[in-house]
Amino acid sequence: MLPSARGVVLLLVQLVVVVVTHLLLLLLLLYWTLAEPYTLETDIKKSQFIATAWPVTSASEASRVQDASDPAASHNCWAFRVAGAARSSDDGEPSGTAGKPILGAIEGDGLDGVCILVVRYFGGVKLGAGGLARAYGGAARDCVRAAPKAFVQAKVQLAAVTPFDRLGTVYNMLAKYGAAAGEEEYQPNGKVRLLLTADADQAEQLQRAIADATSGKVCVPISPLYQGGQYPQDLRTPVSVGLLQTKLNKVLAVDKKAWTMRVQPGMRYTELLQEAQKAGMSVQIGTPTAYAGLTLAGVLATTGHGSGDRVTSAIWETLVEIVWVDGKGQVHTSKPSDPEFVGMDIEELLKLTPHILIFWRPDISSYKAYMVSPAAKGAKVEEATATLLPSIEGREKGAEAFKIMSRTLSDDSDALEFLCPCRLTEASLSSSWASVNGTGRWNVTGPTNMMQASECDEHCNWNENEVFFGTAQDVEFTAEFSQLGAWISDVKKVIKEELFENGKAKYRCMGPGYFWIRFGKGYDGYTATMAGMQRPVFLQSTWLRSRGTLNYPMRYQFVVDLLEQLTLCKYKARPHWGKNHERTFTYPKCSVRSMYPKFDKLLKLQQQHDPAGMFEPRLFRKVARNESFALTPRCALWQHCYCEQDIHCPKGFACVKATSFPEYKVCKNPMKNKPGTLLPQLFATLGGKK
């Protein structure tokens, strides 16, 4: 990496907020799409590119894009994004040169419910990989930007499993709430799995209505994982405000003498790194989040972070000023020293430092540590890019095996003795930090901006839609570094006594995933997770889930549930505002509000700038009032609660005291271990048979 101190971007974020009073809507419940189909033709070096974009309402509708293809064309490349799901196709062009840039045009303009087909008629001049990406991406981008737009109500896709005799009742409730029924799957046990599509703001009411009408026989999970990601459901603003930042992703000004860049808050980290590279600057090592697809405003609002031990580790530490609007419509410009933004330290702004990240698998006694540091002067700089997040490539055969393991939770047989040492270590800890021309590299020198973070696109384990139909079950807590040693010892104790049952089940291991350990720097703030800490450490657990099996708990979910409670209550570690399930904020045994000594000061600022609570998320309100989660049937299955009784657990599970830490309860199911029950099935799937 380039060690020059002048290669540092000082971010000046201009927050532009559009307040829509008495109109619609919850943030996240509206989205921009196209009002009608639109076609645009472009000629590039004798090749003709015809881009057609149109609105779609479901993934199945968008999948019919191939019907619009021209068989006489050289290539028919396409991409779509709808309800959080995204797919793309290069149709014979070099991998990543067509479908991905087309998808980037959709996502770059903050659109959803859009499909784009770009037809190419080859003119005899080869464009090269970079030229193809620019041509396809540019044609798609120009098309969607010229097309008329519409602001529409968001939909969510849900699934319900109902006894056949209750199917009529479910359909009556769907009609009442304006929801639509989709595919029906009749199961051998006499039940029906029904896919539903509902308005996002009606989903929770529909859930309750179906449960009440069927006397609790039918449960419709409202899980954020169904929307392709995880976030606290109540980290949203009230119905009187809409924050429209999807198009606020531009560079407003660059001052190369001062080494500053003024940008808009809707810009994603990926775009910031690219713009910094163009300007001959570098974002400070350690500040970007590992996932580069997040917006700057989102990272600021949820105190997202990178990793830098006792040095720069978060975006607000590079801020010089921020322009914002309060709940009374007044515009403010604040400096880091102002009380509204205490903690945005710029004193060490130009300091470069190692970036340390650890992936840990305590169940298989393995870990991998990465360190990124400035390169020596004169070092050879390669065209390397960060590829830290796991790729789906080469793991297609494991998809069916993953489904089997997700649906046979009571079978603890010999399959794990084969899978744990042979497959999970490779699958979970195999990612190199960076790649050069698509080849993973463990040790490499590359441009600072390109080496710090990577996006999780449709080829990433946590976000692809064809193989695992994957998503991540994520939680993160911030603790003091001085607690790290004791926490690690407690994790090992949980693995030994709960997962391995003190040696009786040493063949077990968790599924694909890992614990992350990252590092930061504390400051004198209000409610950022590292506020007031001396040397914060970020403790995160990430596990692969299939969105097709979310009506089952994760295998050995009790380990994750216990560690959440232990980390929250024993260590008083603070849950991540933008990542965790709501139950980590509303656990009655462990008040999150009490973890923030300056919480009352923030409430006073709220009264000053937003007396009507226009910008107050419901989750913040619950934390401020020390509200507790509701104990409802099966609530632990959807991570809405921690169990107190069996009824809170998945069917067939019991709520029991943990062996290692009996002050906490978890849901466990009876396990059998019969040699030969699972292994033949798994070998068959890995061999290509079903």
pLDDT over 80 (residue 244): no
**Across-strand partners of 118?**
51, 77
Task: Please count the residues of the chain.
Answer: 690
pLDDT band of 413, cuts 50, 70, 90: low
Quote the distance between the C-alpha of residue 24 and its chain's center.
Answer: 26
Give the list of residues 6+ apart from residue 688 with CB closer than 8 angstroms, or none. Answer: 397
- pLDDT, mean of residues 289-305: 72
Of residues 587 and 397, the one with the higher pLDDT is 587
- CA–chain centroid gap for 655, Å, is 29
Look at residues 271, 265, 247 and name the one whose alpha carbon lies nearest to residue 325. 265
pLDDT (mean) for 424-447: 70
Confidence at 531, pLDDT banded by 50, 70, 90: confident
The amino acid occupying position 20 is V
Which of residues 422 and 677 earns the better pLDDT score? 677
Contact 681, 404 (CB under 8 A): yes
* Start-to-end C-alpha separation, the chain: 48
Q: What's the CATH architecture for 30-152?
A: 2-Layer Sandwich (3.30)
Residue 241 pLDDT exceeds 50: no
- What does the pLDDT look like over 368-382, one tens digit per residue? 777 777 777 888 878
pLDDT at 287 over 80: no
Query: Once rounded to an integer, what is the mean pLDDT over residues 560-581?
Result: 94
What are the tens digits of pLDDT across the range 576-604?
A: 988 888 999 999 999 999 999 889 988 88
Better-predicted residue by pLDDT, 575 or 547: 575
Radius of gyration (C-alpha) of the chain in whole angstroms: 25
- Sequential DSSP letters for 306-375: ---TTS--SGGGGEEEEEEE-TTS-EEEE-TTSGGGTT---TTTT----EEEEEEEGGGTEEEEEEE-PP
Q: What average pLDDT is seen over the chain?
A: 76
In angstroms, what CA-CA distances link 166 with 102, 184, 185, 198?
Answer: 44, 14, 15, 19
CB 267 within 8 Å of CB 283: no
Q: Are 345 and 36 in contact (CB under 8 A)?
A: no
Residue 293: alpha-carbon gap to chain centroid: 9
Report the range of poorest mean pLDDT among 204-218, 219-233, 403-417: 219-233
Could you tell me if 55 and 33 are in contact, meaning their C-beta atoms sit under 8 angstroms apart? yes
Q: Are 405 and 549 in contact (CB under 8 A)?
A: no
| Nearest by Cα to 619 from 157, 301, 380 | 301
* pLDDT score, position 262: 84
Give yes or no for residue 317 having a pLDDT over 80.
no
Least confident of 143-147, 486-490, 493-497, 586-590: 143-147
List Cβ neighbours of 292 (8 Å cut-off, separation of 6 or more): 268, 269, 270, 273, 386, 452, 453, 454, 455
Does residue 167 sit in helix, strand or coil? Answer: helix
Among the ranges 25-29, 242-246, 506-510, which has the highest mean pLDDT value?
506-510
Cα distance between residue 168 and residue 609, in whole Å: 50
- pLDDT digits over 639-688, tens only? 899 999 999 998 889 999 999 999 999 999 887 766 556 777 766 766 65
Query: 449-462 as b/e, with b when 16 or more CB fall inside 10 Å?
Result: bbbbbbbbbbbbbb
Is CATH 3.30.70.600 the classification given to domain 154-227?
Answer: no
Q: List Cβ<8 Å contacts ≥24 apart for 645-651.
A: 650/552, 650/553
Residue 248: is its pLDDT beyond 80? no
Q: Which of 15-19, 185-189, 449-453 has the lowest mean pLDDT?
A: 15-19
Question: Cβ distance 213 to 172 under 8 Å?
Answer: yes
Q: What pLDDT score does 618 carry?
A: 83
**202 pLDDT exceeds 90?**
no
pLDDT at 188 over 70: yes
Which H helix or E strand runs over 252?
strand 251-255
Query: Are the beta carbons of 432 and 387 closer than 8 angstroms?
Result: yes
**pLDDT at 425 > cutoff 70:** no
Q: Is the pLDDT of residue 263 over 60?
A: yes
pLDDT of 215 reads 80
Output the six-digit token pair for 634.
Answer: 């099966």
Q: How confident is the model at residue 562 (pLDDT cuts 50, 70, 90)?
A: very high
Q: Which residue has the higher pLDDT, 570 or 462?
A: 570
CB under 8 Å to 85, separation ≥6 — which residues?
59, 228, 465
Question: What are 59-113's pLDDT values in tens digits?
Answer: 777 877 877 788 888 999 999 988 767 888 999 899 889 999 999 899 888 888 8
Burial call 219-257: b when 16+ CB within 10 Å, e when fewer: bbbbbbbbbbbbbbbebbbeebbbbbbbebbebeebeee
Q: Which residue has the higher pLDDT, 233 or 505?
A: 505
Banded pLDDT at 247 (limits 50, 70, 90): low
**Range with the poorest average pLDDT among 178-192, 288-302, 486-500, 665-679:** 288-302
User: Minimum mean pLDDT among 20-34, 142-156, 390-404, 410-424: which range?
Assistant: 20-34
- 424 and 401 Cβ atoms separated by less than 8 Å: no
* Angle subtended by helix axes 128-146 and 99-108, to nearest 10: 40
- Torsion-angle region of 111 (φ positive above 0: left; ψ -120 to 50: alpha; else: beta): beta
Tell whether the model's pLDDT for residue 561 goes beyond 90: yes
Tens digits of per-residue pLDDT, 602-630?
888 888 888 777 778 888 889 999 999 98
Decide: 18 and 292 in contact? Cβ < 8 Å.
Answer: no
Backbone angles phi, psi at 77, to 5 degrees: -105, 145
Shortest CA distance to 223 belongs to which of 418, 12, 471, 32? 471
Which of 169, 56, 192, 48 minimizes the C-alpha distance to 111?
56
> How far is the C-alpha of 661 from the C-alpha of 357, rounded, in Å?
29
Residue 464 scores a pLDDT above 90: no
pTM to 2 decimal places: 0.63
Give every CB contact of residue 128 below 8 A, 6+ residues apart in sequence.
none
Distance CA 529, CA 479 (A): 9
**Domain residue ranges in the chain:** 30-152, 154-227
If phi > 0 it is left, if psi is from -120 to 50 it is alpha, else beta; for residue 645 that is beta
Higher pLDDT, 487 or 191: 487
Q: Measured between alpha carbons, how far is 338 from 334 in angstroms, rounded to an integer? A: 6
Q: In this structure, are residues 272 and 299 in contact, taking their beta carbons and an 8 Å threshold?
A: no
Q: Is pLDDT at 10 greater than 50 in this prediction? A: no
Per-residue confidence at 161, pLDDT binned at 50, 70, 90? confident
